[in-house]
Amino acid sequence: MAAISGNKIKNFLKSARTRNAMTAYLFLSPWIIGFILFMGGPIIASLVLSFFKWDLLSPAKFVGLANFSELFGKNDLFLPSMLVTFKYVIIAVPVSQVLALGLAVLVTQKVRFQGFWRTVFYLPAVVSGVAASVIWMWLYDAQYGVIDNLLKLVGITGPNWLFTAKLALWSLMIMSLWNVGVPMVVYIAAMQGLPQEVYEAAELDGANGWDTFWHLTMPLISPAILFNLVIGTIFGIQTFAQPYLMTNGGPVNSTLFVGLYLYEVAFHYLSMGKASAIAWVLFLIILVLTIAQLRLANRWVYYEGG
């Protein structure tokens, strides 16, 4: 009888787990189906297409690795576009993180209208990329722009920000600080979860504000810093809307980001195979950079209890 009861219990538990699993998959099925149809399928198709020449008008022709080798040719714009992209990421991402961290420190202090200031700094982040690009095109306008008109008040003739090769990319970097509210919120959340008894002990030991921030706050929020750096790098490499709308890659390809170049290859030159090759090279670059950041994180990221 005991053996029979034990088998019944095991069968019941197994059937209960099966029912729970089926229920879970049932609720997940809309996402799974959507991913397969709209993401998984196109991803596999782009990988296959990267080995073909196809212009949408004639039959696809298998060319092996020719699309990939073409990207690194002397006359191709892939490497220059990657150089522009990396220059943007190397400068804009760290600056935005420093600014976001500074704002987070300010708005976590006991100041009047704290909620108001947090909202003000975060509000630009909810504006779409297209709308933000239009606003900044107006700000940078040489004739009617706010920036150049303010410079005129102090006797300075402002440059043509978006149409000068040496300034166009820097102008987009400055514009990227518009979204500094997103990483700021992450830093605020990290700071609000810090153990206050550690700060009280540091204060009793005579630590000043800078020592407390550098030796306590920075190590304790290092996981948030890592998260923001990884996400910022990924989104920086994928930058598209701003250069597409504001400069269209010019002047003289000074703002030709790799995402914009991919778009031009695919929809201007109808070279779908080459565009797919660019997408996969870009994916591999992002993957390598992300893994490298996570590997290096072991040297400077502190996990409580780890």
> How many angstroms separate the CA atoms of 197 and 195, rounded?
6
Q: What's the pLDDT score for residue 305? A: 60
Q: Is 102 helix (H, G, I), strand (E, B) or coil?
A: helix
Sign of the dihedral through C-alpha 31, 36, 38, 44? positive
Supply 179's token pair. Answer: 């979204």
CB of 164 closer than 8 Å to CB of 276: no
Q: Which pLDDT does position 170 carry in this prediction? A: 96
Contact of 85 with 257, CB cutoff 8 Å: yes
Reading the block at residue 21, the tokens are 């699993």
Q: What is the DSSP letter of 8?
A: H
Reduce the DSSP state of residue 61 to 3 states and report it.
strand
Q: In 10 A of CB 137, how many CB atoms? A: 17
Burial tier of 226 (Cβ tally within 10 Å: 0-12, 13-18, 19+): middle
At 256-298, the pLDDT tens digits run 999 999 999 999 999 999 999 999 999 999 999 999 999 999 8
Q: Give the pLDDT score at 18.
A: 82
Using 70 as the pLDDT threshold, list the residues of the chain that sit under it.
Answer: 1-14, 305-306
pTM summary value:
0.87
Predicted local distance difference test score (pLDDT) of residue 116: 85
CA distance 238 to 283: 10
| Two tokens, residue 117 | 């200031």
C-alpha–C-alpha distance, residues 176 and 226, integer Å: 19
Predicted local confidence at residue 94, as pLDDT: 95
pLDDT at 13: 61
pLDDT value at position 280?
96
What pLDDT was estimated at residue 1?
47
DSSP E strands in the chain: the ranges are 52-53, 61-62
Residue 248 tokens, joined = 């269209």
Spatial separation of the C-alpha atoms in residues 280 and 285, rounded to whole Å = 9
* pLDDT of amino acid 6: 62
What is the distance between the alpha carbons of residues 21 and 228, in angstroms, rounded to a whole number?
A: 34
Burial class (CB within 10 angstroms; exposed 0-12, middle 13-18, buried 19+) of 207: middle
Nearest CA to 99 out of 237, 228, 240 is that of 228
Q: 59-79 pLDDT, tens per residue? A: 999 999 999 999 998 889 999
Residue 58 CA to residue 268 CA, distance in Å, equals 16
